[in-house]
Each structure stands twice: as C-alpha cells, then as structure tokens.
Amino acid sequence: MADEATRDRVRALVRDVLSKTIPESSAQAPHPAMTSSSPPQEVSSSSGANLTRDESAKLVITEDDVRGLERGAVLRVAENARLTPLAADIVSDRGIEIVRRVSRSGSKQHKTIAIGADHGGYPMKEELKSFLGELGHRVHDFGTNSDSAVDYPDFAHAVARAVADGTAEVGIMIDGAGVGSAMTANKVPGVRAAACYSVEVARNSREHNGANVLTLGSKTITSDQMREIVRAWLTTDLTEDRHRKRVGKIDAVERQYSR
C-alpha cells in the first residue's frame, strides 16, 4: 500500500509539472503569422516568430525551399541570404513571413569573398587578396593571374556568378576604372554591384543599396585607399527597414525582366 501511495504521489507531481510547463492554450492557439493575410514581412530572429521552416544554413533560397510552405508560413533564413526571383514571387503570393537570423555579436566578421581582376587590376588584386587574408576572410580568386591582356567582362561575370549562386557571400572585382565590371556584374540576376571610389560611397552602397559586389578602379585609387574602401564596405550592412524596402523594389524591377 505504501508503494502504491508513493507512485500516486509521483504521478500527481509529474502531472502538475507538465501542466505548468506546457499550458494547453499555447499548444492549441495558432500563431498570428499562420492566419494573417497581410503582405510578407522581414523581421529579425529575436521577434519571437513561431517558425515553420529553418533554412538559415543557406545563402540562396530557391523556389524548391519555399514551394511546400503554406500561406502565412514563417521561414527563417540567414542574415545575408537572398531569394531567387521565383522564390521571392512565391513568398509574396503566399504571404510568407521571412525571419532573418541575426547573430548575437552583430554582422558576421569573416566572409567568403569572390575576387577577380583584369590585367590592369591584377597587381591591386594580389594586394587585396593578402589584405583579406589578414582580416581573416576566405577568398576565392577567379583570376586573372598575370598582367597579360584579358577582357574584364569574363572575370566580372565569374565573380558575380559566384555571389549569385551562393558560392561566395560577396564579391570584389578590379579593373582600370571599375565601371565596366559593375555593368557586367549587374547583368547577373541577384547581383547589386557598385563602383566605389571613396569610403563614403562604399558605406552608402552597402547601408542604403545592399550592394553585394564591389568594383574598384586600379587607376583611380591608391593601394591605401583600396584598403580603406574595402574595410568600410565589408563592415557596413543593410539594416534599416526603409532601405530594405527600397532594395526590395530594385529586386522587383529585375524580376519584371527575368520572366
């Protein structure tokens, strides 16, 4: 009898603990994001959203990653992840909420960076490669590897494609002026390339325009200026909602011509 009484007390204690730990109301009440018909919103991971799916390990979110999500679902992605045009359309049509994972220490310090140059930018690219290594970044060098004459579009395309397909988080391309490489890179869907000639422009291109490829002109800046520009560009992020909204409109224009 004593043993039976002890077991009854243990069962009662377990039921009491469970009832306080998992209230019935929290298990039954649907999350507002699952029933809302409002347009999709992007919020930080600290918002407390009830996630439907976590794809935060990927740098590029494709239509396959979102096709199975129901209307009003909540999808977590990496802080710097981008959506392909088809994925963005599905997210918009179904009112899927995007939650961007933000690290506790702020912006990610070490990045995977695609770099490239034509013959005019080759010497500065080699300096850049060493500089990025000193900062602790991982570098994918797409060439060129000498000062023999080559065509800048070939290398700008390779750098931009690496960013677009998620092989690299950002890219840096150097030619004589930086303009032709920016034009080439911006032909690749998902790329926002900016030719920068000062620290101020570099910061603006990231904070306001969400640039993911930086192009530099070896004939327009010194090596010291290159280092200052690159450091500023890599340590600045697109954070304010008003700027995210405008960058979203840039992407929307691109989608109109990529169908």
The pLDDT value recorded for residue 25 is 36
Q: What is the average pLDDT score of the chain? A: 81
Q: Which domains does the chain have, with CATH numbers?
A: 15-101 (no CATH), 112-240 (3.40.1400.10)
| Angstrom distance (rounded) from CA 62 to CA 76 | 13
Q: Looking at 31, 140, 208, 243, which residue is catalytic?
A: 208
pLDDT digits (tens, 9 = 90+) for 192-216: 999 999 999 999 999 999 999 999 9
pLDDT digits (tens, 9 = 90+) for 3-55: 566 656 655 655 554 444 434 333 333 333 333 333 344 544 444 446 778 88
H helical segments located in 45-118:
63-66, 85-94
- Answer for the pair 62, 69: CB distance below 8 angstroms, yes or no: no
Q: What are the E-state strand segments in the chain?
A: 42-44, 53-55, 60-61, 74-78, 82-83, 97-101, 112-117, 138-141, 170-175, 193-195, 213-217
| Angstrom distance (rounded) from CA 40 to CA 90 | 10
pLDDT digits (tens, 9 = 90+) for 63-94: 888 888 988 889 888 766 778 888 888 988 88
The pLDDT value recorded for residue 2 is 52
How crowded is residue 130: how many other Cβ atoms within 10 Å of its Cβ? 11
Active site residue 208: yes
Which two structure tokens, joined as six digits, stand for 80? Answer: 């710097």
- Answer for the pair 162, 114: CB distance below 8 angstroms, yes or no: yes
Q: pTM for the complete prediction? A: 0.61
The pLDDT value recorded for residue 191 is 95
Which two structure tokens, joined as six digits, stand for 222? Answer: 């010194």
| Nearest residue to 188 via CA among 60, 89, 71 | 60
| Angstrom distance (rounded) from CA 95 to CA 35 | 10
The pLDDT value recorded for residue 59 is 72
The pLDDT value recorded for residue 18 is 46
The pLDDT value recorded for residue 49 is 47
